[in-house]
Amino acid sequence: MKKVQGNDPFQRMNFLYQISKFIADKNPALSSYYGNLMGNVAKKTVLKIHPELKRQFCKKCKCILIDNVSAKMKIKTIKNSKVMQWTCNTCGTKRVLPADKGKDHRIWYEKPEAVVEVIVS
């Protein structure tokens, strides 16, 4: 059986993500600490955090953004497109993410046109 390179750091990052989400309503500062630690583990081991997970953390304090727990979310219309505006309760930083229903907001490498060739062995 083939061993995945970097399996231990991935497991550690998974644990830090889960504990950050669990503790967010009880102690936002500790949640922020675990989020920051997760980012540091990823940097040190040169691993990528999936964009869906990255979008769940505040850019400034690294606290996990959970609606009505650690952040407030509003749906706004800016230039005929809907966006979600997240405001972190810990540091007050605002984050804007696209939320249009009809449009595809996936990142480029998740789209089918990003696959050039599939090799089956």
- Phi/psi region, residue 12 (left: phi>0; alpha: psi -120 to 50; beta: rest), is alpha
Q: Which of 31, 109, 99 is nearest to 69 (CA)?
A: 31
Looking at the domain assignment, is residue 32 inside a domain? yes
Residue range 20-45: average pLDDT?
Answer: 93
The verdict on residue 1 lying in a domain is: no
Cα separation, 19 vs 4, whole angstroms = 24
Quick check: is 21 in a domain?
A: yes
**Model pTM greater than 0.85?**
no
Looking at residue 16, its pLDDT comes to 95
Residue 11 banded pLDDT, cuts 50, 70, 90 = very high
pLDDT at 33 over 90: yes
pLDDT of amino acid 5: 66
Identify the domain containing residue 15 by its residue range: 7-114
User: Mean of the per-residue pLDDT values for the chain?
Assistant: 86
**Residue 120 counted as domain residue:** no
Considering its fold, how many domains does the chain have in total? 1
> Would you state the pLDDT for residue 113?
79
